[in-house]
Copies of this chain bind each other. A is one copy, B any other.
Amino acid sequence: MTDSESFFTSSDTGRSAGLLKHAQSVTFEEPLKLELGGRVEKVHVVYETYGRLNDKRSNAVLICHALSGDSHVARHDDDDDPGWWDLVVGPGKAIDTDRYFVICPNILGGCRGTTGPGSVNPATGRPYGCDFPTITIADMVEVQRRLVDHLGIDRLLAVVGGSMGGHQVLSWACRYPSRAAGVIPIATSPRLSSQALAFDVVGRNAILRDPNFQNGQYYDQPAGPTVGLAIARMIGHITYLSPQAMREKFGSTRLQPRDVPVEFEKKFSVGSYLGYKGSEFVERFDANSYMTITMAMDLFDIGDSPAELARSFTDCDLRWLAISFTSDWLFSPEESARIVYALVRNHHGVSYCNVQSNCGHDAFLMPNELDRYGALIGDFLSDLSGVERTESQDEDDAPLKASPSSIFCPSRPRRLDYDRIVDLVPKGASVLDLGCGSGGLLSRLKKRGQGVLLGVELDEQSIIACVRRGLNVIQADLNKGLADLPDKHYDCVVLSHTLQAVRDVEGIIDGMLRVGRRCVVSFPNFAYHKLRSILAEQGRSPESSGLLKFKWYNSPNIRFFSIRDFEEFCAERNIRVHRCIALDTEAGREVSDDPNANADMAIFVISR
């Protein structure tokens, strides 16, 4: 890639207008009744497909594009133009066109072939222009549903989309939960933030007040509202990048603008970039479509409060994978988390990862984080399509390496811990595993045939490992509490070998007791006689030997307490202790004689 290409590269592929080479199309003669009233008499849909629909018609993946995207999600062959998601869609890629039949339609209201404001209004014989009705995301989805029917597909494997494509995914799940096995909303929101909405309003105002807008009837005029549309696009481009990404891209060349042939300010490098992007956009996009689509996005609202949103999701009992990006400020991680906790309230199967990224909202279109978001998408689709994975022994031990949380290293510490916990959990009980690592315990419970299972974990790699195992796991920091989870929502909440690494001990225990009917807490016993003697006799901070050897200065463990300390803690707070199992993990047995001295690990069953 030349330097100049890299300067102008972004999520925006900058394709020129015109019909797409591999596009197919269908016209639905039945009028489309719109959500907000009115109708579109006849809907023409342009779409592209990739791969082959299998005999069971069970491998179809619908991809919903965002504001300025189109049906050309990927190249069809080496000679083809680049697609907007070539990184993810193609043979052997995360959405593997060797395995899946991919469908990507242009959206209703757009300007890439599917009916929109630039289409001819049958009532007048002229383009709709401002007479094109106000449409919603649900209307776009209704058109996609017709297309899916037309293709003879009863049930999609998955519906996938980012940004406004994610709004379509959410709408699919709410309207047609039985028509897909799973959904993947990426970098999206239950409704736009007030900030994102505000940027859209300013963009529309720039178009609306462009003298060439002519109330939307500019198609037969010498010029359209190109300045207003370019201004709107410039605002958009700023919001797609993180401040860090802008600093990296434009910081060192601040006063070295590119000489681009545009009539916008070219004093600064970032100005020449925005001027170029804005001018390029008006060549391929219609201002009326911009007005129509952004309004549909701005009106999208499946609930703001947790209760409203949970209500919207009542029947959405399909499998969910939600992905956000840490530096995305247009569709912030908090918005994705709202979606996730509303699903959890309904006990729907959901996994969620907030992928670490500096790329901002564009991250899902960029290669930087592909290793992680691509892996999540690929593994989730594999699991949806029922591919059995054979778990290796290594994998079962993975949590030991990935998320060390014990000051001990006996030969098989977690397994003994897990064995007892699995025994303690009634079959069929719903279980929340806090600090689940890469899913060792959940995996055992799942194999046994458990009911609702959900893991909570902070570490990104552990989340990816859980998704690979087909487990439901959501990313959250336990130190921030469990406030998003409803009261008595799980039969059993497990905190295994994690309490000693938690800063807010009281908060997490209070949260567990509120959220779970019974709670299981396991932890290393700091008063184990071998540890006592290290301090008492050697005058040194206790540590153990072996693989998980931590020093006082680099241990993830920051709370040191004994069985007796924890008993007192419970007694002072009127926490009921149902059982206390004390273990000597080195000997691999339970301890009954003076557990506070002879056990190196304890498992408490508690409730309030």
Which residues of A line the B interface, CB within 8 A? 191, 193-195, 197-199, 201-202, 204-206, 208-209, 211, 227, 230-231, 234-235, 238, 241, 243, 246-247, 249-252, 254, 263-265, 267-268, 270-271, 274-275, 278, 295, 298, 301, 304, 329, 332, 503, 505-506, 526-527, 531-533, 535-536, 538-541, 552-554, 558-565, 568-569, 596-597
Residues of B within 8 A of A206 (CB): 206, 231
Answer whether A506 and B270 are a contact pair too, CB < 8 Å, given A265-B204, A532-B535. no
Asked if A553 and B561 sit within 8 Å, CB to CB, the answer is: yes
Asked if A194 and B247 sit within 8 Å, CB to CB, the answer is: yes
Asked if B565 and A541 sit within 8 Å, CB to CB, the answer is: yes
Answer whether A553 and B559 are a contact pair too, CB < 8 Å, given A195-B238, A201-B268. yes
Residues of B within 8 A of A538 (CB): 564
* Copy count, this protein chain: 2
Residues of B within 8 A of A197 (CB): 250, 254, 268, 270
Asked if A195 and B265 sit within 8 Å, CB to CB, the answer is: no
Asked if B243 and A329 sit within 8 Å, CB to CB, the answer is: yes
Identify 13 new A-B residue pairs, CB closer than 8 A, beyond the known A235-B235, A558-B558.
A193-B246, A194-B247, A197-B268, A198-B234, A201-B264, A505-B553, A532-B536, A540-B562, A540-B565, A540-B568, A541-B560, A541-B561, A553-B559
Residues of B within 8 A of A298 (CB): 267-268
Residues of B within 8 A of A271 (CB): 198, 201, 205
In this complex, what residue of B is CB-closest to A508?
A: B553
Residue with the highest number of chain B CB atoms closer than 10 Å, among A241, A264, A539: A539
Asked if A264 and B505 sit within 8 Å, CB to CB, the answer is: no
**Min C-beta distance of A210 to chain B, whole Å:** 8
Identify A205's interface contact among B275, B559, B569, CB under 8 A: B275
**Min C-beta distance of A606 to chain B, whole Å:** 14
In this complex, what residue of B is CB-closest to A227?
A: B209
Asked if A274 and B202 sit within 8 Å, CB to CB, the answer is: yes
